Structure 1
Amino acid sequence: MSTDTSSDTSSGSSTETSARRDDREPAWLLVTRREIVSRITDKSFLIGTALMIVMIVGFIGFTAWQDEKTETATLGATPEAMAMATAIKDNAADVDDKLKVTLVELDDEDAAKTALREEDVDAWLHPVDGGWELTSESSEQDSLTDVARVVVRQQVLADNAAGVGSTVQALEAGSTVSTDFLRGDAEKAGVAEAVGFVFVFLFYFSALIFGMQLASSVIEEKQSRIVEIIAAAIPLRHLLAGKVLGNTALAVIQLLVYLAVGLVGLSFTPYKSYVPSLSGPTVWFLGFFLAGFVALACLWAVAGSLASRTEDLQATSTPLTMLMLAMFFGGLSLEGRGQVIASFLPPVSAVVMPKRILAGGVAWWEPLVALGLLALFAGATVWVGERLYRRALLQTGGRVSLRQAWSAAE
């Protein structure tokens, strides 16, 4: 009689526990929150993110400093050349806005040579038969020479025009040469190429770092047998979903920070005019990153479940590492028809299609088709990966092969 009462009590308690569990949030959401909180409070994660931000800011700052850096040059001139030297000094900014010319008056030729030897001046301007000469101590002053040639030509042309009763504009009429680009602006193409490299690198970096950490956490739980306790409380597919979603959320948040810092920093450089045109490709990149990362994160979880010890991870993750290297180098080196084909081929399309969008000339439907195929690939990867993960995770007798995991009993 007492046994029946105990059984009824136990059954009632179990029912109440189940009811309370049903009232709580889903198990996968609990795992997702745990993954995010544990990582976002980890000092190594925060320090790594901060260091990457410092590197991005430093690189952009150095680029801006290099582009805005002003070069100074000291120009010496004897009395007969002072008028021309003054014209060079006054008009230098119109020719090269990064060159500032300082003028030094010299008494004669001997004083000029002495000033050059003692490095008091960078160059000495003086008239010679048929024109002007810029003499330096041992090497040509490139920026100063370029400015001097333009200004001297303008001054001489103006003087000659005045001598024949004409104007410079009249003499130069019909002599201008304009430029156009058959295949687009070379500078814009260079910026697109640089940003494309950043996209490829960020995808590879995030997928590798977060993937390795995800796989390591799976191995730690498996090796310590904690996963057996977790498996008794929640379905393993919920555990996998929580891990993948948690790491995906962290990767996307980190990526958004990097991209925001990069675009804001770029707006303070001479390339700020390109920021609006980079916004669209950046949004596309986020979409491709999300689909591609989910697929790879699931595969990293499988790599961790196949291993029984940390030492096994190198072997179980080798195919995945090779795939990621192929994506990285393919994203950087593919061109022409090979690039077009790869931009539709998952998972390489996650890095190749954003590069093509940056370069321009992509039909509106191409990114949609490529993203759709990548999403289908991610879905298939999650379906296959979930089966392998569930069947390999609780096997602790040694490293599990893919064939063993696929054919193992539930």
Structure 2
Amino acid sequence: MTLTSQTQPTDAPAAAPAPLRPATSFWQAVGLISGREIGTKLRDKAFLFSTVFFLLLTVGSTVLPAMLSGGPDTVAVVGSEAAEVLGAAGLEVRTVADEQAARDLVLAEDVDAAVVAGPNGVRVLALDEAPTDVVSALSTAPPVELLDPDAVDPVVGVLVPLIFGMVFFFTSITFGIQIAQSVTEEKQTRIVEILVATVPVRALLAGKVIAASTLAIGQIVLIALAAVVGMTVTDSGAIMDQVAPAIGWFIPFFVVGFVLLAAIWAVTGALVSRQEDIGSVSMPVQMLVLIPFFAVIFGNDNSTLMTVLSYVPFSAPTAMPVRLFLGEAAGWEPVVALLILLGSAVAVLLLAARLYEGSLLRTNGRTSLAAAWRNRGN
């Protein structure tokens, strides 16, 4: 039996190669990393608790003082003329028929005071203490000329710099330390080696910075909304009108300043291989936030110092909005200061990317900045 071999025609089409999986682009990798970081943080009970705590603290600080102070004084009035004057002063007026009825209401403590008219003029009846608001409303005040009607209330002038400084300080420190701990934890558990094999190192850095910035900004926006609601409920519109322009500038300054510091914190975490070593390298970064914070808080009445601080990248996010609130900055100054801060942030991000690449995969203890700069890509 003759065996014949059957050969496949040479012109038959070759089998199609398996499709190649498209490579992940830089921005796709950034989106994956930032989404992972945000999702992890939103499941963190400590983060959620701190957010709720700050919201309750904000609402409480704006609503409770008004609630504890009580409502306007209630006044029993005999006659329509006094009723109109007291009502215009914001007091709650209850009209009664005669003086005896007014006395009975005061003795029963149904009203805070009573105003009655007699042969000897208008008299104020009270139980055991002179009602200052009622007396002031009935007094004839001389005309007053305000030489500086837009002057900032001294109490508000102290509180606003303190609030701006505390928001930027605590947010930068809290989220910054969390960024450093996240980077060090990935190095310590060697998860970073898997991540670097999948996405570019710079995408890993960008994802962490974007995630932390998004969470920080979201938390600040929620707190700001809570403050606005609290002021609306307590009818503190006058203060809100004064603070609103400064808040409008504080937001972009906060965003750019936080991105600058977040990049530095990421490098801080990449320089060490153990969580226990973060404290030894993070002190200089904390000083970059701590020193400007105290400089703005205690030096906001020094116009020369505040002018300088409003152009220094690490203090500008707080100093410039404070100067705007106090009316000490020209219209062009916040634009120039923000551009300087933006340029500084870009430069720091480029520097941080180089140091991050040079230190992220080094797990043999603490890495110096010089070694991280030399070992880029090794």
Q: Which of 128, 144, 150 lines up with 1:178 in the alignment?
A: 144
What is the CA–CA distance in structure 1 between the aligned matches of 2:65 and 2:91, rounded to whole Å?
15
Instruction: Say if 2:83 and 2:95, in contact at 8 Å, map to a contact too.
Output: no
The answer to whether structure 1 residue 399 and structure 2 residue 362 are counterparts is no
What is the CA–CA distance in structure 2 between the aligned matches of 1:242 and 1:396, rounded to whole Å?
22
Provide the residue aligned with 1:383 in structure 2.
Answer: 350
Instruction: Say if 1:68 and 1:98, in contact at 8 Å, map to a contact too.
Output: no
The residue identity in structure 1 corresponding to 2:289 is M
The answer to whether structure 1 residue 328 and structure 2 residue 308 are counterparts is no
Residues 315/102 of structure 1: CA separation in 2 closer, same or farther (3 Å cut): farther
Shift in Å at residue 224 of structure 1? 0.6
What is the CA–CA distance in structure 2 between the aligned matches of 1:205 and 1:283, rounded to whole Å?
20
Shift in Å at residue 313 of structure 1? 1.0
Provide the residue aligned with 2:23 in structure 1.
Answer: 21
Provide the residue aligned with 1:159 in structure 2.
Answer: none
Provide the residue aligned with 1:156 in structure 2.
Answer: none
Alignment of 1:227-246 (within 5 A): 227-246=192-211
SS in 2 for 1:26: helix
Residues 309/140 of structure 1: CA separation in 2 closer, same or farther (3 Å cut): same
SS in 2 for 1:267: helix
Percent of residue pairs bearing the same amino acid type: 32
SS in 1 for 2:233: coil
Instruction: Say if 1:339 and 1:352, in contact at 8 Å, map to a contact too.
Output: yes
SS in 2 for 1:69: coil
What is the CA–CA distance in structure 2 between the aligned matches of 1:329 and 1:353, rounded to whole Å?
15
Q: Which of 170, 186, 191 lines up with 1:226 in the alignment?
A: 191
Provide the residue aligned with 2:321 in structure 1.
Answer: 354
The residue identity in structure 1 corresponding to 2:41 is R
SS in 2 for 1:300: helix
What is the CA–CA distance in structure 1 between the aligned matches of 2:262 and 2:84, rounded to whole Å?
60
Q: Which of 31, 52, 58 lines up with 1:50 in the alignment?
A: 52
Greater shift in the superposed pair: 64-73 or 323-332: 64-73
Q: Which of 64, 67, 82 lines up with 2:66 in the alignment?
A: 64
Shift in Å at residue 290 of structure 1? 0.9
Q: How many residues are matched?
A: 354
The answer to whether structure 1 residue 283 and structure 2 residue 229 are counterparts is no
What is the CA–CA distance in structure 2 between the aligned matches of 1:120 and 1:356, rounded to whole Å?
48
Instruction: Report the TM-score, using the length of structure 2 for normalisation.
Output: 0.78
Instruction: Say if 1:31 and 1:242, in contact at 8 Å, map to a contact too.
Output: yes
Provide the residue aligned with 1:170 in structure 2.
Answer: none
What is the CA–CA distance in structure 2 between the aligned matches of 1:309 and 1:48, rounded to whole Å?
26
What is the CA–CA distance in structure 1 between the aligned matches of 2:72 and 2:203, rounded to whole Å?
60
Gaps of 5+ in 2: 1-16, 101-105
Residues 23/374 of structure 1: CA separation in 2 closer, same or farther (3 Å cut): closer
Provide the residue aligned with 2:33 in structure 1.
Answer: 31
Shift in Å at residue 102 of structure 1? 11
RMSD: 3.8
What is the CA–CA distance in structure 2 between the aligned matches of 1:270 and 1:221, rounded to whole Å?
49
1:153-193 deviation line (CA, Å, top 9, x unaligned)? 7xxxxxxxxxxxxxxxxxxxxx9422213373344x65465
Residues 66/237 of structure 1: CA separation in 2 closer, same or farther (3 Å cut): same
Shift in Å at residue 363 of structure 1? 1.7
Gaps of 5+ in 1: 1-11, 76-84, 107-114, 154-174
What is the CA–CA distance in structure 2 between the aligned matches of 1:194 and 1:68, rounded to whole Å?
23
Residues 143/25 of structure 1: CA separation in 2 closer, same or farther (3 Å cut): closer
Shift in Å at residue 316 of structure 1? 1.0
Residues 97/382 of structure 1: CA separation in 2 closer, same or farther (3 Å cut): same
Instruction: Say if 2:26 and 2:200, in contact at 8 Å, map to a contact too.
Output: no
What is the CA–CA distance in structure 2 between the aligned matches of 1:258 and 1:145, rounded to whole Å?
40
1:37-66 deviation line (CA, Å, top 9, x unaligned)? 221233322222122112111211123335
1:61-112 deviation line (CA, Å, top 9, x unaligned)? 123335663346899xxxxxxxxx9899857735853577999979xxxxxx
SS in 2 for 1:20: coil
Provide the residue aligned with 1:374 in structure 2.
Answer: 341
SS in 1 for 2:363: coil
What is the CA–CA distance in structure 2 between the aligned matches of 1:25 and 1:96, rounded to whole Å?
61
1:366-409 deviation line (CA, Å, top 9, x unaligned)? 01100000011111111111122111221212122323323335
Provide the residue aligned with 1:408 in structure 2.
Answer: 375
The answer to whether structure 1 residue 345 and structure 2 residue 309 are counterparts is no
Q: Which of 184, 195, 202 lines up with 2:167 in the alignment?
A: 202
